Structure 1
Amino acid sequence: MGNEEAVFYSRVLTELTLSFHIIYATIGVGVPLMIMIAQWVGIKKNDEHYILLARRWARGFVITVAVGVVTGTAIGMQLSLLWPNFMELAGNVIALPLFLETFAFFFEAIFLGIYLYTWDRFENQKKHLLLLIPVAIGASASAVFITIVNAFMNAPQGFDVLNGELVNINPLLAMFNPAMPTKVAHVVVTAYMTAAFVLAAIAAFRLLKGSNHIYHKKALFLTMKVGLVFSIAAAIIGDFSGKYLAEYQPEKLAAAEWHFETEENAPLILYGVLDNGEVKYAIKIPFALSILAHFNPTAEVIGLDQFPEDEIPPLYIHYLFDFMVTIGVWMTLLSLVYWLGIQMRWKLVHSKLFRWLIVLGGPLSILAIEAGWWLAEVGRQPWILRGLMRVEDAATTSGHVDTMLILFSGLYLVLGVGSIVVLTRMFRRNPVEQELEDRHATKGADIS
C-alpha cells in the first residue's frame, strides 16, 4: 500500500468512526438533561408519568453509553495509530482536554450508576434528582473537552514552532482558542436539541402505533417544547459561528457558501449546482451573507479568489451546510407549530400526518448532526492543524489501514445492530401500561 492509499484509508476510517460515534455521543450528551427535566417536572407536578418517563429513558440511556464508550475509545486509539505525526506534534498541547474528557466521563458514569441503583431507596425524590446533576454536567463536559480538541485543530495557538519543534507550550491558551466558544456551544446545544427530537419521535411513533396513553402524550409535549427552545438557541449560535468563520476561517465560509469573489453586499446562496464555475438554479438571498459574516448588509466578504488553489476546501461542503440549515429550520418550525397548536387547540397537531412528520424529525436531526460534523472536518481541508500541518503529512505510512477499516466496520455493524435490538426488546417486553399497573399493584400492597 502506497502512502496515498494509507492517507485515503486513514481518512475513511476516521470519518466512519466519527460518523458512528457522533450518534451515540449526541444522545449521550442530550438525554441526561432530558431525564433530569422529566424527573424535575414529575416531582414539581407530583406526576408519576413524568417520573416513569425519567426512569425508562435512564434504562435505555445506559445502552447508548456503553456503545459510546467503545467508539470513543476507538477514536482515541485511531488518533495515535492513524495520525502519529499529528499526535507527535500536537499531543503535548492538547493532552489536557483529552485527559479532562476521560475524567468527565468517569464522573458521569459513577453518578449514573448510583442514580440507577437508588431509584427506590429515597423517600424524598428531590434527593434522588440531585444525583442527576453530576450526570448531566459530566455528559456535557465530555462534549466540551473533546470539542475543544477539534476547535484547536481549526485555530491552533498556545505554542511556538522552532525548528519543527513545539516550544513555549501553554495548554490553557491552546484550549481557549478563538474557535472554542462557538464550536463548543453549537455542539452542546445541538446535542440537546437532537436528543429532544429523537425522544419526541419515539413518543409520536408509539401514539401512531395505537398506544393512546397519556404517558406518551406528555412525553411528546415535553420533548417538543425542549426541542423548540434548543433549536432556537442553535440558530442563534449558528449565526455567531458564521461570524467566527468570516474572521478566522474565511476560506471555509467562502467554500460553504460558494462565494468565489470578494465583494460587498454579498448574497447568501442556497442549493443550486456548479456548472464550469458558475452557480445555477440557486436561491439567492440578497445581503444575507454580509449580514451572517459581519452583521452588516453592505460589508465585504472575502471570497475564494483570495486563497491558493491547494488551500481551498472541497466545494461539496456547500450541500452539507444547506442540508444542516434546512433541517434545523424545519425542526424549529415543526416544534413551533406543535407548541402553538397545543396552546390554540388545533386538531392538526394530533393528526396522523403531523405525528409522522415528528417521527421523521428524529432521524433527520441525527442526519443534520452528521452533516454538521462532515462540514466541520471537510471544511478544514487540506489541513489537519490549520496553517501548520496538512492531512497527508499527518497520516501513518502503515500498509494495514485497509484491514483496520474492515475490522472496525464489522465492529460498528455489530454494535449498531446490537444496540437497536437490545433497546427494542427492552421496551417491547416492558410496555408503559404494564409498568404502571405493576407500580400501582406494588403501592397497593405496601399500603395494605
Structure 2
Amino acid sequence: MINESAVFWSRVLTEITLSFHIIYATIGVGIPLMIMIAQWVGYKSGDEHYILLARRWARGFVITVAVGVVTGTAIGLQLSLLWPNFMQLAGQIIALPLFLETFAFFFEAIFLGIYLYTWDRFDSQKKHMLLLIPVAIGASMSAVFITIVNAFMNSPQGFDVVNGQLVNIQPLLAMFNPAMPTKVAHVLTTAYMTSAFVLASIAGYRILRGSDHIYHKKALYLLMKLGFIFSVATIGVGDFSGKYLAEYQPEKLAAAEWHFETEAGASLVLFGILEDGKVKYSIKIPWGLSILAHNNPNAEVIGLDQFPEDEIPPLYIHYLFNIMVFIGIFMTALTLVYLVAKWRGWVFVQSKWYNWLIVAGGPLSIIAIETGWWLAEVGRQPWILRGIMRTEEGATTSDGVDMMLILFCLLYILLAIGSILALHRMFKENSIEREIADRTAAKGGDLV
C-alpha cells in the first residue's frame, strides 16, 4: 500500500539532502586535483607561491571533507529509511559499488592525513607531492563508484526478474551498464571544472578587495587555465550524453528539449514557455536536436508522442537543461577570453567588471551543478529504477518523514553555517600576507 504523504516528503527530503551534499561532494572530488597540480607547478618551477597555494587549499579542503562525510552518511541512512523497497530490490545488486565507494574514501582519507601532517618533513617537495596522487585518485574513484549506482538506476541490467524475485545477479555487468561511461565522465569533468571556478572566484574576490599580491594573480591565472580545459571537456562529454539519451532514455531527452512529436531534422528548442500545449517565445536552432542526438541533421528523433502520458518526465526539466548548458557555455567563453587577453596583453581582463564576472563564476558553477543533478534525477521520473520500479513503489509507507525533514534541514543549516565560519576564521587568522612573511623569515629570503 502506497502512502502518498510519505512518498512526497521522502522525495523532498532526498532532494534537499542530495542538493546540499552535491556541493561538498563536487568540491571534494575536484579540489584534490587542484592541490596536486598547484604543488606540481610549484615543484617544477621552483615557485613557492604555488606550494603555498597547495598548502592553503589543503587546509580548507579538510573542512569540506568533514561536512561531506556527514551528508554522505545522511544519504546512506535515508536510502534505508526512506526507500526500503528500493534497497530491498536493488541493494543486493549495487552493494559492490557502494562498498567500493567506502573503500575509496578511506583510501583517500588515510593519505590525506599523512599529506597534511608531513608538511616540511620531506627533503624534497616531490616526495611530499606523491602523497597527493592516492588522495586525488581516491576522491575521483569515490565519485566513480557512487555515480555507477546512479547510472544503474537509469539503465538497470545484470539480473533477471522471475516471479518477482531477482535471479542470475551479475554485479559487474550491473556496474558497467550503458549509462555508466557518460555519467561518470560528466560527473568527473564537472567536478574538476566547478572546483577550478570556485577557487578562481575566491582569487578574483581577493583581488577586487584590494589585495594586489602576486599570489592571487598566479592562482587566478592557473585556475582559469584549468577551468577552460575542464569546461571544454565537459562540453564534449555533454555531447556524448545527448547521444546516450537518444538511444537509451529518449523520453528524458524529448522532455528536456520539449520535443513533442517524432520527426526527422528536429530543431533544438531553447527557453520558451508552454501555452495550451504549444511552445511560444522560444529560440529554435534548425536541425540542432538531430545533430545532438545522432550527428546527422536529417536523423529522426523520438518525441514524447511515443510514450504513455504517465511515463513522461516533468516538462520543467527543459529549463534545468537550459540553465546548465548556458552557464557552461558562459564559463567556457569567460575563460577563453581571459586566456586570449593574457596572451595578447589586453588589460580589460584586469578591470573590476571583468573580475566581478570571474567572482560570479563560482556561484554560477554551483548552480549549474545543482540544475544538472536535478535534471538527471527528475528526468528519470516516474522511475526510481527505470522500467522496473516506480518511485512511489520504492518509498517507505511509514509516517513521520515530515518530522525527519525538519531535523535534517536543521542539521544542514548548522553544517553550512559552521563550515562557512570555520573557513572564514581559518583564512582570516592566517592571511596570505602573514603566511608569506612567516615562510620568508623561515627560509631567510624572499619567496620567488
TM-score, normalisation: structure 2? 0.99
Q: What are the equivalent positions in structure 2 for 1:329-348 lying under 5 Å apart?
A: 329-348=329-348
1:147 aligns with 2:147: yes
5+ long unaligned stretches in structure 1: none
Match of 2:228 in 1: 228
Which amino acid in structure 1 is aligned with residue 232 of structure 2? I
Determine helix, strand or coil for the equivalent of 1:258.
coil
* Structure 2: runs of 5+ lacking an equivalent: none
CA distance in 1, matches of 2:210, 2:417: 26
Distance 1:341 1:69 in 2: 40
Counterpart residue number, 1:77: 77
For the residue of structure 2 that corresponds to 1:272, the secondary structure is strand
Q: 2: CA distance between counterparts of 1:125 and 1:33?
A: 16
Q: Distance in 1 between matches of 2:443 and 2:220?
A: 27
**Alpha-carbon distance between aligned partners in 2 of 1:437 and 1:121, rounded to the nearest angstrom:** 20
2:216 is matched by which residue type in structure 1? H
Q: Which residue is 1:100 aligned to?
A: 100
Structure 1 residue 437: Cα displacement: 0.4
Map 1:100-179 → 2, pairs under 5 A:
100-179=100-179
What CA distance in whole angstroms lies between the structure 1 residues aligned with 2:393 and 2:316? 23
Moved runs in structure 1, 4+ residues, more than 4 A?
A: none
Are 1:411 and 2:411 matched, yes or no? Answer: yes
Inter-partner Cα distance in structure 2 for 1:67 and 1:221: 29
Question: What's the Cα RMSD here?
Answer: 0.9
Q: What code does the residue aligned with 2:194 have?
A: T
Q: Whole-Å Cα distance in 2 between the matches of residues 428 and 204 of structure 1?
A: 17
| Distance in 1 separating the partners of 2:277 and 2:45 | 60
1:62 correspondence with 2:62: yes
CA-to-aligned-CA distance 1:216-274 (integer Å, 9 cap, x gap): 00000000100000000000000000000000000000000000000000000000000
Alpha-carbon shift at residue 442 of structure 1 (Å): 1.5
Distance 1:369 1:346 in 2: 31
Deviation at 1:444, TM superposition (A): 2.4
1:276 aligns with 2:276: yes
Post-superposition Cα deviations, 1:393-431, rounded to whole Å, max 9, x if no partner, equal 000011010010000000000000110010011101111
1:205 aligns with 2:230: no
Match of 1:88 in 2: 88
1:306-357: per-residue Cα shift (whole Å, max 9, x none)?
Answer: 0000000000000000000000000000000001011111111100000000
1:428-443 paired onto structure 2 within 5 Å: 428-443=428-443
Q: 1:116 offset after TM fit, Å?
A: 0.3
The one-letter amino acid of 2:422's match is V
Residue 384 of structure 1: SS of its match in structure 2?
strand
* Structure 1 residues 205-354: aligned runs within 5 Å: 205-354=205-354
Q: Distance in 1 between matches of 2:334 and 2:345?
A: 16
Measured against aligned partners, the alpha-carbon deviations of 1:99-140 in whole angstroms (never above 9, x if no partner) come to 000000000000000000001100111000000000000000
Question: Quick one: distance in 2 between partners of 1:443 and 1:311?
Answer: 66
Measure, in 1, the Cα distance between the counterparts of 2:112 and 2:52.
Answer: 17
Q: Distance in 2 between matches of 1:216 and 1:351?
A: 15
Q: Secondary structure at the match of 1:282?
A: strand
TM-score, normalised to structure 1's length?
Answer: 0.99
CA distance in 2 between counterparts of 1:440 and 1:382 reads 60
Take 1:267 and 1:73, find their aligned partners in 2: how far apart are those partners? 43
Q: Which residue of 2 aligns with 1:27?
A: 27
